Amino acid sequence: MNPGSRVKTAAVFMFRLVRVALVLAVACTGAFWLYENRTTPEKEIKQAPVPVVRVMSLAPETKVMTVTAYGTVAPRRQVKISPEVPGRIDTLHPGFVAGGVFKKNDLLVGIDPEPFRLDLQAAQVRISQAQADIRSLEQEIKNLEKDKDLYQAALALAQKELDRVKNLKARDFASQNTLDRAEQQVVTARIQRQAVTSRLALTTPLMAQKQAVLTMARVDAQKAGLALQKTQIRADFDGFVLVRSAQAGEYVTPGQVLAVTFEKGALDVDVKVPLEEMQWIRMDSAGGFPPEARVTLANGDGMADQAWKASVARVHAAVDEQTRTLPLTLEIQGPLENDQAPGMDLKPGAFVMCQILGRQKTRVFTVPRHLLKPGDHLFLATDRRLEIRPVRVLRKVADTAYIEAGLDPGDLVITTPVPGAVEGMALDIRADGE
């Protein structure tokens, strides 16, 4: 490279360097001027918005602890109709059909009674025959007793004659033949008396035998009469026919089930109550009034207002091993007043909800269960500030919580969510409905 080119290149470099320096100097001067002439911004402190909450005022109440359980209605008295004698059905009650109604003492089933009437007549004939045999034997006994007396008198006379002949023979006034005849008469009289005595002795077992025949004939007559009565099966109660399995003209045998019936108005419900819920049911072992209950249809659309009165009849002796619950039996006593539609009856097999009225608790606060915070705390509005207060829960049932301690009358419980809840934070309070 020649010297001229070198000088030219150096001049270009220096020009560019000066230009960059000038630009940097101007920029630094402008920045310094802006820094010196800046304005200080005013600080603005933004206040967090006060949350708007709704509250409800609390007041203590007296509450009856109700235990709710579900069960299926079953007849308290369910009877299978079966004949005790065989025969052909010749009579059926008009209501002897599934769902039929009958009254107490109504004839439900009649079996052809003619064979049993004949058996009764035959037994009565045997009774008459046995009675006649006994009367005949009694007369024979009387005759034998009279014969015995006569033969005894004849023996006494024969013995007296023998003694007289012996005295005459001793003085040679009587022959040996006369003595032999006298002795023969005594022996004959004794034989006759012994024969009557033996026959009389045999009448005792014979009379016992005939009495036994009479007794057996009377037993047969009673059995025949009882069998004749059993040809008519009558109702022991007012009730309904649940199932029928026999027809008129059908031949039936003893023990054959003809129908299943149940008593009208005698219904029970078996329910299972968790053990922890049993504390609310007052079972009076001293013979007091049993706990009352209210029964409603659990799956009856549009029939929730239909209710029946019931009471706890008994508590079963063992806990259910599968569910760890205690079975109870409730007796349904009838419809509640003004809660029953005309003609509406509770039927076996209905699925029902049972509300058992338990112990009464005073000064209890009732709050929606979802308002309880973890650890059983409630958000309260106190002097327009948030108070997180611990409470003692008596019982939690479905959507309701019963508080027994930790609250005072007039306390305002917050019913809406409180984002970022902190103890003591300010609140904008609105009453429910505003």
Q: End-to-end alpha-carbon separation of the chain, Å? A: 96
Query: Would you state the structure tokens that stand for residue 13, as one six-digit string?
Result: 């470099």
**Are 385 and 253 within one domain?**
no
Same domain, 225 and 237: no
Q: Mark whether 247 and 304 lie in a shared domain.
A: no
The string of pLDDT tens digits covering residues 383-408 is 888 888 899 998 888 888 999 888 88
pLDDT value at residue 285 = 53
pLDDT value of residue 331: 92
pLDDT digits 0-9 by tens, 299-353: 766 555 678 999 898 888 899 888 889 999 999 987 876 544 444 578 888 899 9
- Do residue 285 and residue 360 come from a single domain? yes
**Same domain for 286 and 224:** no
Pairwise CA distance, residues 266 & 76, whole Å: 5
The answer to whether residue 168 sits within a structural domain is: yes
Q: Which of 12-26, 272-286, 333-347, 400-414 has the lowest mean pLDDT?
A: 333-347
Task: Please report the DSSP string for 62-77 in residue order.
Answer: EEEEEEEEEEEEEESS
Instruction: Please report where in the chains the tokens 């008469």 appear, as a residue.
Output: 185
> Structural domain tally of the chain?
3
Residues 162 and 135 in one domain: yes
Same domain as 237, residue 92: yes
End position of a domain, from candidates 180, 206, 229: 229
Q: Tens digit of pLDDT for each residue in 78-132?
A: 999 999 999 999 999 999 998 899 999 999 999 999 999 999 999 999 999 999 9
* Residues 222 and 250 occupy one common structural domain: no
- Shared domain for 388 and 241, answered yes or no, is no
Domain with 297, as residue range(s), is 267-431
* Predicted structure pTM score: 0.64
Half-sphere exposure of residue 375: CA atoms within 13 angstroms, side-chain side: 5
* Mean pLDDT on 212-230: 94
Average pLDDT of the residues of the chain: 85
**The predicted structure's pLDDT at residue 110:** 94
Query: Could you give the CA distance from residue 364 to residue 406 in angstroms, rounded to a whole number?
Result: 11
Domain identity same for 201 and 252: no
